[in-house]
A and B are shown apart, each in its own frame.
Chain A
Amino acid sequence: LAKTTQPISMDSYEGQEVNITCSHNNIATNDYITWYQQFPSQGPRFIIQGYKTKVTNEVASLFIPADRKSSTLSLPRVSLSDTAVYYCLVVSGGATNKLIFGTGTLLAVQP
């Protein structure tokens, strides 16, 4: 499974756009990039998944360059309730649905 590297923490203010970048240099051809969000004392929640280029849903956008060795989760106009840990994971398509969580990025949104 491809290992991911992301910043330990980030700070932002309400209303700003936040971009969290993740490195996955050893990503394989059939791997998908997946992001989860976790609030304190809760289970993680799926945010978005992509393979290449750009994916957008009602929560976030995911940008993946052509070489797929990194990805950027973009959260538009964050609010205080977006304070959470964000995990970047690589999931192998067609393999056992096994999630390997790293330490994630703690995003702290200030008023």
Chain B
Amino acid sequence: ETGVTQTPRHLVMGMTNKKSLKCEQHLGHNAMYWYKQSAKKPLELMFVYSLEERVENNSVPSRFSPECPNSSHLFLHLHTLQPEDSALYLCASSQDLLAAIYNEQFFGPGTRLTVL
């Protein structure tokens, strides 16, 4: 596969469940990102990883736990979520962390999460 893939594409979970979202990039990029997109709201940056090291955590609740075992994979572990956490979770990657001209981010298709 090419580009950025995310699994699962859809997930329904109860508030007491534990689940994980997976992201994989086949682009040889060094930086990976998690975003959250709630209905009628702009995309919100959650976490930033560069060379497997977390470099940014935008005040995200601890019920969201990211993991980056290598530069190609990024996980978002979920536990005791709330219904307001229902959203589209998007993963993205870029060649490097530092912005430069044409250093675009490549997004995956997202995981549509519903918390009951």
On A, residues with C-beta under 8 Å from B are 32, 34, 41-46, 49, 51, 91-104
Q: Mark B50-91, 1 if CB is under 8 A from A, else 0.
A: 000001100000000000000000000000000000001011
A43 contacts across to B, CB distance below 8 A: 4, 90-92, 107-110
Question: Is the CB–CB distance between B105 and A96 below 8 Å?
Answer: no
Q: Give the contacting residue for A93; candidates B97, B101, B110; CB below 8 A.
A: B101
SS class of chain A's interface: helix, strand, loop or mixed?
loop
Number of A-B contacts (CB under 8 A): 70
Q: Give the contacting residue for B107; candidates A45, A49, A100; CB below 8 A.
A: A45
Name 19 extra pairs, CB < 8 A, besides A43-B90, A43-B107: A32-B101, A34-B104, A41-B109, A43-B108, A43-B109, A44-B90, A44-B105, A44-B107, A93-B99, A94-B99, A98-B48, A98-B99, A99-B45, A99-B105, A100-B45, A101-B42, A102-B42, A103-B41, A104-B42
